[in-house]
A and B are shown apart, each in its own frame.
Chain A
Amino acid sequence: MTVVFEAPGAAAVPTAVHVLAIGVGNYPHLLGGSGTLTNRPLDLGQLSSPPVSLKAVVDWFLAPQLDATRVGFVNPGAVLGSVDALASAPAPVQITTPAGVMALEGATRDRIQLAFERWLARLKGPGESIGVFYFCGHGVMAADHYLLADDFGRSNGAPWAHAFDVSNSLRGVERETQGALYFFIDACREISTEVALTLGANPLALWAADLKRPVIRNSTTLIEATGEGKLAFGLDGRVSRFTDALITAMSGYCGVKGPGAATWDVDGETLANAVRKLLEGGNKTAKRRQISGQSISGVSVPLLRHPRAPLVKVSLDLLPEPMRVVARLYLESSRGERRVHEGAKGPYLTEVPRGMYTIGAEAMAAQFESLSFDEDLIPPVHDLPMRVGP
């Protein structure tokens, strides 16, 4: 089963969001796989994170359909029209849907093709629907970005027959649908670009661009993970760092409220910034750095519209540490709401709604002169290390 959710009558809704999500962790023809090893495995093996990451993304989109109080997809201006998903893992990935638990089919090249065409047909319906395409698995970055389906390497004569060119797929879709497109690509770069150039890699697009047609989509957002090797994915069997940042960002940690607007809107620019900053924050402790790249074009079309102001993850510290131990760290909003933290408990880690704050440190017994800064807390993260003394 690949269609895990389809809203009744979604085909007739002017603005619906249609999701196609693919996670490939099981590669039978690559190193450690269960099938015949391909002649050129490119040193690529099995991945444990993509099925888990895929499930996290699908669960996030479906959460409010199962329980309206849960955090997930929210957009009063667009209904969730459909969710299609494919996942390759040693054991079938199970998704809880409004219709019950479903097991996902594996992400072979043929199934990806069919699911993509079904997804595109929905986007071409009436109005300006929003398309979301998510992929997590192996990828190769040359001039364009190539993604590997689970049967990659099945044919030694045509190894790239079981991959696809996602960059050209996007270019093809831009001429087919009038609405907005969001592509999230969580594929690490384990193959050097020089190797990629010498491979003769030439996978087909999932939808070839018909150059006779003009570009008609109104907005494109492409956000890609560009980490350094498979360790950038994160811990084995856990949601990848990029996907975790994406889900966090979408869960109320970014948004812009325009003049006269009632909601905090998350468009491509806002989301890409938030994902990048969340990853940068994680890089302070991670052994391998994960970063993201983006390409945003067209007009601003929000994917999400939140009713509440986005939150900011705030980290306050005072150096040197002996001074923090004798300090009170505080945050005071421009409306006068004050939060205080005893420095003896460690750095102050908290979450507050975005806005202007006065941030500072006061000594318990005049050990140092008080510090105070006016700070514009912009989601999703704000770190402020303060220092007293020389």
Chain B
Amino acid sequence: MKWLQVSLDYASTEYAPDGVVQTPQALPMRVLDADGSLIAEQVASTERPARFDLSALEGPAFVRLIWPSGRSLTRRVDLKEGEDTELSFTDTDISRNEWAAWAVPRLHERSHLAAATASQAQGSVVSVPALEIARFDRAWLRMWVRTQGEWTASRPTWRHALRSPFVRQLDFELDERCHLLQIGGGYVPWRFVALPGRGACRVLFTPNQSTDPRAEPLKIVVSSYRRDAENLLEFLSRDALRAAGALREFGPLATRMLRGKHEDPVSAAAAAYFLLRSDGWREIPMDWFANLSDQFDWLADASLVHCVAKLRSGLASPTATDLAIDLLRKTMARGVPLFSEGMALLREAAASLGPPTGTPTDSLFEHIDRLTTSETWSGAAFSFSGTHPDQPTPERVLGMPGRPRLARRDGPRKGEHGDASSGSIRGLQDAVGGTASENAYVLLRDLS
């Protein structure tokens, strides 16, 4: 027999504020042979190593650790017959600030924090020059909260803030309502990012060094300390279904997701998103979706996954169709979903349930059309561009609160030092308006 035990020693990613309980970091591991054939796949967490029986493998094993960002790290292991072999992936080279290390597995490999890993691990491989976050000092933040069907804006208040030359980080404590963090600036297009309510929430800001022209200049990573569930959704947002599937099978997560919805409805919603993506929804009773939707009326994701589960199972009667439309209305009444998976489901539900072509439109479906057309990329977090949560727009709006302007369509999308030419004002207004718009924000440079 040949056994291989692989542990994930990512202690620095465990940093959390006092009193906050978080689930362990858990990541998929693949064992490959020398040709790259897959031998086995499991998940290791910071609390539970993966254990592989590799008795049938001839020659060395190669263990590939996969990050939600898509980056992989591979280590060679020479196994001996009749012996247990141990391998550990460590985080000693992940980040210069251990308080920001939690986000590194979710950052683009060109990001300074992640690239530090590559350059330190590989010595003389050419690395990417780092961008300092000071270039975004004039970017601003505003918090929006959904209360009784209305959005209100305020200056964000946080429990704790941390900063380094490359990162700003905020810790929030949020109640059971829908929260949106809005960010904008002279060179940062205005956008909203959904924050999970019902507990502690952390947000990290760092310059985005992705070369994708769709990438926003400032990367935002959100955590509510459900790191296994968040990793799963991060994999889904990149269509990495194999890795997401491996995580979904991981015992502690699987149990919490499907059986523990009363304690953790956000993880349960993550499970539902995975089931809808992987076709596993057919094996789950519709009551499960209904209960999630009924019991957590502040969670837009809950009614949305119920709506789409019904839609996909077939709407056999007008009553069933009305119920599905009602669930979609509830979803939008609750605010917006927390996770980017919700964007595709909103699109699917609105296109399927909306009025037929050529008939009068309904404001619900018009709003969803604009919202989904305004999608922006923030990994697993639901994100869209606009001036007000109820006024999403695919146009790129720049400027300080109270002074929005349209970015030229072919203008640069990255960084504070670009030549971001503005377009015509075209009646754009900051939806907060007046004195409130001047006070209801904070600059990124003032986070401390």
Residues of A whose CB lies within 8 Å of any CB of B are: 142-144, 167-168, 171, 175, 192-194, 196-197, 202-204, 209, 211-215, 218-219, 226, 228, 256-259, 261, 269, 272, 280, 283, 289, 291, 294-300, 309, 319, 333-335, 353-356, 371, 373-374, 376-378, 384-388
Contacts and interface: CB of A to CB of B under 8 A. Distances in A.
A374 B76 CA distance: 9
Interface in B167-223: 211-214
Contacts of B38: 256-259
Contacts of B279: 218-219, 297-299
Most interface-central of B36, B39, B124, B347 (chain A CB within 10 A): B36
Contacts of B350: 143
A294 B123 CA distance: 34
A334 B372 CA distance: 47
Contacts of A280: 211
A319 to B, nearest CB: 6
Given A193-B373, A259-B39, A299-B279, A386 B315 contact: no
Contacts of B344: 295
Given A204-B357, A376-B74, A384-B125, A168 B316 contact: no
B80 interface: no
B239 A143 contact: no
Contacts, number: 141
Nearest to B395: A194
A212 B124 contact: no
Contacts of B372: 143
Interface in B32-68: 32, 34-40, 59-60, 62, 64
Interface stretch (B150-158, B306-314, B433-441): B306-314
A384 B124 CA distance: 10
B373 A142 contact: yes
B36 A356 contact: yes
A143 B347 contact: yes
A335 B394 contact: no
Contact of B314 (A203, A212, A298, A376): A212
Contact of B124 (A204, A261, A387): A387
A371 B60 contact: no
A213 B394 contact: no
Contacts of B122: 373
A353 B37 CA distance: 12
B35 A309 contact: yes
Given A194-B394, A334-B34, A355-B36, 16 more contacts: A143-B369, A144-B347, A144-B351, A167-B351, A193-B373, A197-B394, A202-B358, A258-B38, A259-B37, A269-B239, A300-B241, A319-B126, A356-B74, A373-B123, A385-B126, A387-B126
A157 to B, nearest CB: 13
Nearest to A208: B356
B348 interface: yes
A335 to B, nearest CB: 6
A388 B241 CA distance: 39
A373 B34 contact: no
28 contacts: A142-B369, A143-B368, A168-B351, A171-B351, A175-B314, A197-B370, A204-B357, A211-B315, A212-B314, A212-B315, A213-B314, A215-B312, A259-B38, A283-B211, A297-B277, A298-B279, A299-B278, A309-B36, A355-B35, A356-B60, A356-B62, A356-B74, A373-B122, A376-B36, A376-B64, A386-B125, A387-B125, A388-B124
A269 B315 contact: no
B329 to A, nearest CB: 17
Given A258-B38, A291-B214, A309-B36, A269 B312 contact: no
Contacts of B5: none
Contacts of A196: 373
B242 A300 contact: yes
Nearest to A160: B357
B40 A259 contact: yes
A386 B124 contact: yes
Contact of A211 (B40, B321, B393): B321
A40 B222 CA distance: 44
Nearest to A264: B37
Given A171-B352, A283-B211, A356-B36, A296 B239 contact: yes
A335 B230 CA distance: 39
A228 B352 contact: no
B213 A291 contact: yes
A257 to B, nearest CB: 4
Contacts of A167: 347, 351
B76 A356 contact: yes
B358 to A, nearest CB: 7
B222 to A, nearest CB: 22
A214 B277 contact: no
Interface in B86-131: 122-126
B160 interface: no
Given A212-B315, A387-B126, A356 B37 contact: no
A291 B242 contact: no
Contacts of B32: 356
B240 interface: yes
A373 B118 CA distance: 12
Which 3 A/B pairs are nearest by Cβ-Cβ distance?
Answer: A376-B74, A193-B394, A214-B314
Nearest to B347: A143
Interface string B308-330: 00011111100001000000000
Interface in B258-298: 277-279
Nearest to B375: A143
B351 A143 contact: yes
B187 to A, nearest CB: 19
B135 interface: no
B240 A269 contact: yes
A299 B245 CA distance: 10
A228 B34 contact: no
Contacts of B393: 194
Contacts of B242: 269, 300
Contacts of A333: 34
Nearest to B394: A193
Contacts of B214: 226, 291
Contacts of B347: 143-144, 167
A197 B373 contact: yes
Most interface-central of B239, B242, B347, B357 (chain A CB within 10 A): B239
A212 B311 CA distance: 9
Nearest to B350: A143
A334 B60 contact: yes
A331 to B, nearest CB: 14
B412 to A, nearest CB: 13
B255 interface: no
Contacts of B124: 371, 386-388
A144 B239 CA distance: 19
B390 to A, nearest CB: 16
Given A171-B352, A197-B373, A376-B72, A202 B35 contact: no
Contact of B313 (A194, A209, A214): A214
Given A202-B358, A228-B213, A269-B242, A257 B125 contact: no
Contacts of A228: 213
Contacts of A272: 239
A215 B357 CA distance: 22
Contacts of B311: 211
A300 B245 CA distance: 11
A35 B326 CA distance: 47
A374 B77 CA distance: 12
B352 A211 contact: yes
